Amino acid sequence: MVTARIAGIGAALPPTYTQDQLWEDVFRWHFSRSRVAQRIFTASDVRTRHSATDPAEFKAVADWSTAERMVRYGEVAPPLGLEAVRNALEAADTDPEEVGLLAVVTCTGYRTPGLDIELARMLPLPADARRLLIGHTGCHAALPALATAADYVAAHDRPAVMLCLELTSLHLQPATIDPGQMVSHALFADAAAAVVVKPGAAGMRVVDVAARTDTDRRHQMTWDITDLGFRMGLSAEVPDALAEHVGPLVKDLLGRHGLDVRDVAAWAVHPGGPRILDAIEEGLELGPSALAASRKVLAEHGNCSSATVLLVMQELGPQDGPVVALAFGPGLTLYAALLAPAE
């Protein structure tokens, strides 16, 4: 039986800005010197993050139409995605001509011909390579996309590439007193991250993927298309919902393979924010250092939507024991992936 393994991870990061710099130069004035906003920025646990949009443009971007934002996405996304994919291919010692599937994940920009076509041209990919665009799924999208790539590799014995690329800076919203918007603007950042999944290669094996969706809480996390870009809706109840569901999800996934939480060597958890990481620690009864990689990624990169869990996996590197990756998004949806070292 063909085993699908993560052979390489690569990232491409736009310019870095400190959280203090963004607050002092942009958001202090955007939120009219709001003390609530300042407390939210201070409590975000983000020290630096990346933006493909120059902060000097933020005031103008907040008034851009969605069409104007999509034009900028079409200009910025292809070179950034190309860099991430090339870095992943190099890490996996894989040539673009070998790739049978390119899966592109994004919830921050669309056009047709799209990013997948541009990458197929720029790499270039072979003419028979399959392309899959997974759009508007949200922060958890990397894990269902990884499952799809692994299934393709297992079925076709051919490498697959999965790219997550998010330009959240293009969706800066007009000034508001809504604390939810303050939280979003304090956390979200831009990044591209890619993985190469290969048959029988060295690297962590994709063992299984599980999902859990609470549709009764579907309104707690939203990503609405408006005339002024995409607007995030985030309920303060989300961390409690995740704490409730993450235990049953992970225990079911691990139990299918004769494992439990104590057997997990490392955790790659999407750092949606500090309260979300606290909730996962509580729901899984983890020690204070279990999510150190996720907290480091949050501090250094912010929440880069779908790309973030891949940055955490890259931070962890190969492990000697099982790894569980977790990510969360609209639905309300939780995804978990079980990875294991070579047998």
Q: What is the dihedral of CA 271, 305, 254, 331, to 10 degrees?
A: 110
Who contacts 119 (Cβ-Cβ below 8 Å, separation ≥6)?
A: 78, 81, 82, 85, 102, 104, 125, 163
164 is catalytic: no
DSSP state of 23: I
Closest CA to 20 of 47, 50, 43: 47
Catalytic residue among 107, 139, 164, 304: 139
At residue 200, the pLDDT reads 83
pLDDT at residue 248 is higher than 80 = yes
Domains 4-199 and 204-340 share a fold: yes
Closest CA to 170 of 301, 29, 82, 73: 73
d(CA 77, CA 186): 22
Q: What fold characterizes domain 204-340? A: Peroxisomal Thiolase; Chain A, domain 1 (3.40.47)
Cβ proximity of 277 and 298 under 8 Å: yes
pLDDT tier for residue 162 given thresholds of 50, 70 and 90: very high
Cβ proximity of 135 and 225 under 8 Å: no
d(CA 194, CA 311): 9
Q: What are the pLDDT digits (tens) for 198-234?
A: 998 689 999 999 999 999 999 999 999 999 999 999 8
Q: What are the pLDDT digits (tens) for 84-131?
A: 999 999 999 999 999 999 999 999 999 999 999 999 999 999 999 999
- Indicate the CATH number for domain 4-199: 3.40.47.10
Buried b (16+ CB within 10 A) or exposed e, 280-293: bbbbbebeeebbeb
At residue 213, the pLDDT reads 97
What are 5's strand-pairing partners?
A: 198, 205
At residue 311, the pLDDT reads 98
| Domain boundary assignment for the chain | 4-199, 204-340
pLDDT tier for residue 148 given thresholds of 50, 70 and 90: very high
- Tell me the mean pLDDT in the region 136-146: 97
At residue 106, the pLDDT reads 98
Who contacts 255 (Cβ-Cβ below 8 Å, separation ≥6)?
A: none
Q: Supply the pTM of this predicted model.
A: 0.97
3-state secondary structure of 110: coil
DSSP string for residues in 258-273: T--GGG--EEEE--S-
At residue 112, the pLDDT reads 92
Longest dimension (CA), the chain: 60
Cβ proximity of 288 and 267 under 8 Å: no
Average pLDDT score, the chain: 96
More confident residue, 33 or 2: 33
At residue 90, the pLDDT reads 98
pLDDT at residue 2 is higher than 90 = no
Question: In angstroms, what CA-CA distances link 191 with 136, 169, 283, 335?
Answer: 16, 10, 28, 21
